[in-house]
Amino acid sequence: MHTLQLNDGHTIPAQAYGTCAIGGWQQDDQYVVDTILKAIACGYRHFDTASLYGNERSLGKAIQASGIPREEFFIVSKVWDNQQGYEQTLTAFEQSLARLQMEYVDLYLVHWPVPEQTRATWQAMEALHDQGKVRSLGLSNFRQQDIEDLLGFARIKPTYNQLELHPYLTQSALCDFCQDNGIVVACWSPLGSGTWSNTPTSEKPIADPVIAAIADKYQVGPAQVILKWDIQQQRIVLPKAESETNMRKNLELDGFELTEEEIAAINQLNRDHRFGADPDTAYADNMAMTVPA
């Protein structure tokens, strides 16, 4: 399992299991528990969830049912947009912790930038860090200006920024900025998009001829090529899969190595194309979305 070191000294597995919309949006039932248990059996120990996903309970149940000690897992959750602010963030975190049935999370993120609340939200997260309830602090969907603003007042530096990132949306300037500031980049929808976007497979990066040719060369799947492209560039990947076959394939990245030319060829596929929301325009829709109780 590939790992990276965060700027606070903690180690993070670079291959994670993304839990958004397992089964369906905000589904939180035995199917979700069983799917996560399959992922654990395949070898995943890094799990990414969020209050908005509505499945923190299922993740907590699966980890308890696995019989594997909590400290062997790396658990990430996030505070949603309309939960931000100082007291609101403290409350949202305690609710997440209760749903997860845990005493701490390894990494807590601001899910999307809400600039007028960022200072208060971050100060609440720093307080949680001081109390030992959160081991590392990070961001999600933050733009360069959002990060620059935060760095102007943060007592504890963010370790991590989770972005929509795939061969059709490489966000190279933002990645360079994060790297220059010691912030690890994680990729949500690393393969282009999930079923939630209703995007035909033929329009996703996994169907791109450049990816297909590299996959044929190494006798691996196109998803493995894309994930390896990220791993070799010191990024974290968060693919979601519900079949055991795909779960295993997404972890099997050690049998081949991309050349610099192949990495460059994939970089050149960038179209600045988002399958998900844009931080520039997501605010109103996000504020209207409800975190399940």
Strand pairing class (11-13; 3-5): antiparallel
Q: Specify burial of residue 226 (Cβ count, 10 A radius: 0-12, 13-18, 19+).
A: buried
Q: CA-based angle 265:268:272, to the nearest 5?
A: 150
Q: Are 160 and 139 in contact (CB under 8 A)?
A: yes
Q: How many CB atoms lie within 10 A of CB 248?
A: 15
Strand stretches in 59-182, DSSP E: 74-79, 105-110, 134-140, 160-164
Which of 17, 31, 44, 53 is the catalytic position?
53
At residue 3, the 3 state secondary structure works out as strand
- Spatial neighbors of 214 by CB under 8 A, at least 6 apart, are 225, 258, 262, 265, 266
> Active-site residue 53, yes or no?
yes
- The total of other beta-carbon atoms located within 10 Å of residue 293's CB is 6
Catalytic residues: 53
